[in-house]
Chains A and B, each alone.
Chain A
Amino acid sequence: DAGVIQSPRHEVTEMGQEVTLRCKPISGHNSLFWYRQTMMRGLELLIYFNNNVPIDDSGMPEDRFSAKMPNASFSTLKIQPSEPRDSAVYFCASSLSRANVLTFGAGSRLTVL
């Protein structure tokens, strides 16, 4: 298995632009998580899905952030409009819901100028 695949690996954009981050979880995993990592705040859970359904989005910073999981093999995290304080590394992780063992992707490093 290729593991959790995230794209893009790096994105540099200007304030106000829309950013879409993509994630392909491990085949067979039914839970998907979006995390954000910064030096100041560490790893923060933004949202997670079970069987493509959002379960807990309490970590989503504000309405500028949205996440979707249209099917078991794909999820997106969208920021619109982006702001400099959104600069961070965004990680996607997947797991089997009964196992609670997360497999992380390599992350998407976002820089908003």
Chain B
Amino acid sequence: TQLLEQSPQFLSIQEGENLTVYCNSSSVFSSLQWYRQEPGEGPVLLVTVVTGGEVKKLKRLTFQFGDARKDSSLHITAAQPGDTGLYLCAGSLIQGAQKLVFGQGTRLTINP
């Protein structure tokens, strides 16, 4: 059983569409991170959220941390082929702890 459940596992959409991917847990996290991983490479950090209800924007990407700090979402507006990749959420259960738990990931494909 995964501590962090991501959905959907796979998503294939057309360029220009909007999408949201989710990261859910029954546990409370002190912080949550989103990474993007491209084939043959390691994950790259996109954002860290630490406060319940926090919203962060990175160009066309909007990240939200749930009020109860048990879930998070990533919304992409007007998706582009360059957004294609594996999106991973990762959480820290204890404040200041270095041990991160990763979700299984959402594999996103944006078709031109």
- Taking beta carbons and an 8 Å cutoff, which residues of A are in contact with B? 4, 31, 33, 35, 42-45, 48, 50, 55-56, 91, 93, 95, 97, 100-107
List 20 additional contacts besides A100-B96, A100-B97; criterion CB under 8 Å.
A33-B98, A42-B88, A42-B104, A43-B88, A43-B105, A44-B102, A45-B100, A48-B98, A48-B99, A91-B43, A93-B42, A95-B98, A100-B48, A102-B100, A103-B45, A104-B41, A105-B42, A106-B41, A106-B42, A107-B40
Closest 6 CB pairs of A and B: A104-B42, A43-B102, A42-B104, A104-B43, A91-B42, A105-B42
Q: Return the contact of B98 from the options A50, A103, A106 (Cβ within 8 A).
A: A50
Nearest CB in chain A: distance from B87 CB, A: 12
Question: Which residues from B are CB-within-8-Å of A42?
Answer: 2, 88, 102-105
- Kindly supply a per-residue 1/0 record for chain B positions 43-79, scoring 1 wherever the CB is within 8 Å of any chain A CB and 0 otherwise: 1110010000000000000000000000000000000
Q: How far, in whole Å, are A103 and B100 apart by their CA atoms in the complex? A: 13
List 20 A-B residue pairs with CB atoms under 8 Å apart, sorted by A's residue number: A42-B2, A42-B102, A43-B88, A43-B105, A45-B100, A45-B101, A55-B98, A91-B42, A97-B98, A100-B48, A100-B96, A100-B97, A101-B45, A101-B48, A102-B45, A102-B100, A104-B43, A105-B42, A106-B42, A107-B40
B92 with A100: CB separation less than 8 A = yes
- Taking beta carbons and an 8 Å cutoff, which residues of B are in contact with A? 2, 31, 40-45, 48, 88, 90, 92, 96-105
Closest to A33 in B: B98
A100 with B98: CB separation less than 8 A = yes
Question: Which residues from B are CB-within-8-Å of A33?
Answer: 98
Known: A42-B104, A43-B88, A100-B92. A107 touches B42 (CB 8 A): yes
Q: How far, in whole Å, are A107 and B41 apart by their CA atoms in the complex? A: 7
Question: Which residues from A are CB-within-8-Å of B103?
Answer: 42
